[in-house]
């Protein structure tokens, strides 16, 4: 939800945390599937990726001989 570092710091302080790292470490980890969704949304400016881009992202490059 935080769009910049000032918002993140404000959120952290609102939770009563002295530092942002306390906020990060207090909420555990992000599930791998959710991490992928978040990173993909950042890469396309918050829009859902097109299906053909998604397919291309999943394909592996062939190994060099």
Residues of the chain with pLDDT under 70: 44-65
What pLDDT does 57 receive? 60
What pLDDT does 55 receive? 59
The H-assigned helical ranges of the chain are 5-14, 20-26, 32-43, 51-58
What pLDDT does 17 receive? 92
pLDDT digits (tens, 9 = 90+) for 27-40: 878 899 998 888 88
**Number of Cβ within a 10 Å radius of residue 12:** 19
* Rounded (5°) CA angle 1-47-8: 15
What pLDDT does 53 receive? 55
What pLDDT does 10 receive? 93
What pLDDT does 52 receive? 58
**Number of Cβ within a 10 Å radius of residue 8:** 15
């Amino acid at each position: 939800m935080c769009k910049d570092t000032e918002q993140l710091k404000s959120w952290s302080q609102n939770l009563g945390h002295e530092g942002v790292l306390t906020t990060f470490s207090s909420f555990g980890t992000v599930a791998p599937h959710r991490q992928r969704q978040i990173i993909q949304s950042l890469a396309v400016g918050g829009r859902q990726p097109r299906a053909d881009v998604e397919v291309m992202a999943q394909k592996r490059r062939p190994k060099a001989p």
